[in-house]
Amino acid sequence: MLFTNLSNMPDQFSKYWPPQDERIQQALLSVYQDGDWGRYHGKRTEQLAEQLAERFAMPHVHLVCSGTVGIELALRGLGVTSGDEVILAGYDFPGNFRCIEAVGARPVLADVEVASWSLSVNSFEQAISASTKAVIVSSLHGGLADVTRITAIARQHGIGVVEDICQIPGAKVSGKIAGSLGDVSVLSFGGSKLLSAGRGGAVLAKNEAIWQRIHVFKERGNDTYALSQLQAAVLLPQLEKLDERNAIRTTSALQIIAATEGIAQLQSLAHESGDHPVFYKIAWAMPSCQQRAALLTRAQELELPLFEGFRGFVKRSDRRCSKPVDLSHSTRAAETTVLLHHPALLAAPGEVESLGQQVKDLFEEYC
């Protein structure tokens, strides 16, 4: 079986995640000693919500049980309901598509940019209709969507903007913190994420009306989608070290990307001036799905941490979604994307250099 996630990451790199951090151990001990681990409400969740609000410049925060639930709640907070349309990229995390269906709306597919694996501004604008209520803007695989332009267009049409920053906590777009540009933003604290509590997430809203609609939906005698005090406790020290670890990952990622530049027929990431990416994954696009399959089989034999990308939504039935624009880039992304997962980016410099050379040699062989 090919490597697909952190559960079967090669041992050489799995040791780097989750991080062996003494402060996390101390946080767990502290929450045990004061009894917050067994309480519905406690100071850890309050501290985490306050710090997220400050970091992402979004004053209203709901801590939730997963990033996927967070997307659904964000849509509900924007008032999306049956009969509405929600635009998302034809290549995206599968949960986002299902969240649109969960609120009774219809997914509308737009294309991605070739060099960012993220929603195309022009394709988004072309996909807008009179029924468009919201857009989900995901930044994927180290790429960054142009949220500034997408948000400006959305404002002109009265469309709500959900920033999916599950893969990019700490990134900046045009000098502004990702997650602060749309109407509502979503973080994931899943087991593989850069901020990890095994499970969990957060919804950050720009105005109280969005926050209140989410609150009304999830309050059913108690907080139906809550994050626990234990989870908040382990996230707080990680949030403090996020920028430091992002800097290490970025240095490693750019070194590996540079090693693969110039390989014929291989598409890699590109960034705009003023953008500051972070790397949950690194993406490349192979010339064909057959070449990708052969490369990943060989990568498994060599125990290199390379994986397939998302399957995307282009092949989904027209009964489930609308496809008003060309989706050729999304199609290519689904068929040819190769990913390198982030634990390897925290390896020692010598290991990163060796990995970059191995990845380069492999791409040269199969491109």
Overall pTM surpassing 0.85 (yes/no): yes
The reported pLDDT for the residue numbered 3 is 42
Sign (positive or negative) of CA dihedral 265, 266, 268, 273: negative
Domains and CATH numbers, the chain: 22-240 (3.40.640.10), 241-366 (3.90.1150.10)
Calculate the dihedral angle through the C-alpha atoms of 327, 333, 334, 339, rounding to the nearest 10 degrees: -160
When pLDDT is cut at 50, 70 and 90, the band that residue 14 belongs to is low
The H-or-E segment that residue 99 falls in is: helix 94-102
Contact present, 286 and 367 (Cβ < 8 Å): yes
Q: Among candidates 364, 260, 362, which has minimal Cα distance to 303?
A: 362
Per-residue exposure over 304-334, b if at least 16 CB sit within 10 Å of its own CB, e if not: bbbbbbbebbbebeeeebebebebebbbbbb
What are 211-232's pLDDT values in tens digits? 999 999 999 999 999 999 999 9
Residue 246 predicted with pLDDT over 80: yes
Count of residues in the chain: 367
**Residue 197 buriedness (CB in 10 A; 0-12 / 13-18 / 19+):** buried
What are 50-93's pLDDT values in tens digits? 999 999 999 999 999 999 999 999 999 999 999 999 999 999 99
Q: What's the one-letter identity of residue 325?
A: V
